[in-house]
């Protein structure tokens, strides 16, 4: 037996079906609009490539301004240890990427070559020819010993201490360089230095 006021009337079923039908039509229209207005992945790549062209930064490490991989350096053997320098040259950044007119270009030099130091306190302590410190590249000026030969900026890195025995034995040292242009782009280079006595 049915109690009055319970259950659904036939017009309520009809109203519910209309709501569901129009909701589905609305969802389909939204899906079609989204389908025709969104970019394809290829279009997204073209858009970003247009905004961010690949920079043409250059850098190299050298002793004398040349871009040769193999370089020879002549050093004194008068004292037990000596030092020398390598230089790096790099292109400058665009003006709109500089900070108050200054480029944020830094070089890090490193090597896997070392010699063992021993005395009364240390026994076979490894001494690397270069320790990896970040060094800023700067424009040339008259007060600097080195003037860039090809590119706009330069820096220098000390190598040493170099023991006299390494020079006499004409050892070879490979120096690696990583130049960072504002941390976004890197240029890597290396050089093989042959030590020779004067």
81-134 pLDDT per residue, tens? 999 999 999 999 988 888 888 889 999 999 988 888 888 777 788 888 888 888
Q: What is the predicted pLDDT for the residue at 62?
A: 93
* Fold (topology level) of 59-197: Immunoglobulin-like (2.60.40)
- Give the start-to-end residue ranges of the domains of the chain: 10-51, 59-197
Helix (H), strand (E), coil (C) string for the chain: CCCCCCCCCHHHHHHHHHHHHHHHHHHHHHHHHHHHHCCCHHHHHHHHHHHCCCCCCCEEEECCCCCCCEEEEEECCCCCEEEEEEEEEECCCCHHHCECCECCEEEEEECCCEEEECCCCCCCEEEECCCCCEEECECCCCCCCCCCCCCCEEEEEEEEEEEHHHHHCCCEEEEEEEEEECCCEEEEEEEEEEEEEC
Range 10-35 average pLDDT: 83
Q: What is the predicted pLDDT for the residue at 171?
A: 94
pTM of the model: 0.69
């Amino acid at each position: 037996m049915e109690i009055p006021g319970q259950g659904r009337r036939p017009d309520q079923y009809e109203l519910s079906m209309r709501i569901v039908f129009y909701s589905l039509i609305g969802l389909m229209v939204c899906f079609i609009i989204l389908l025709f207005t969104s970019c394809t992945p290829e279009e997204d790549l073209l858009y970003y490539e247009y905004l961010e062209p690949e920079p043409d930064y250059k850098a190299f490490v050298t002793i004398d301004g040349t871009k040769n991989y193999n370089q020879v350096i002549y050093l004194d053997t008068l004292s037990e240890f000596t030092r020398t320098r390598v230089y790096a040259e790099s292109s400058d950044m665009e003006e709109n990427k500089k900070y108050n007119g200054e480029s944020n270009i830094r070089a890090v030099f490193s090597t896997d070559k070392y010699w063992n130091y021993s005395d009364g306190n240390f026994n076979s302590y490894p001494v690397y020819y270069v320790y990896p410190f970040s060094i800023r590249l700067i424009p040339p000026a008259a007060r600097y010993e080195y003037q860039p030969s090809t590119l706009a900026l330069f820096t220098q890195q000390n190598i040493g201490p170099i023991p006299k025995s390494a020079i006499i034995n004409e050892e070879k040292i490979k120096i690696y360089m990583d130049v960072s242009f504002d941390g976004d782009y890197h240029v890597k280079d290396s050089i093989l230095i042959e030590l020779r006595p004067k």
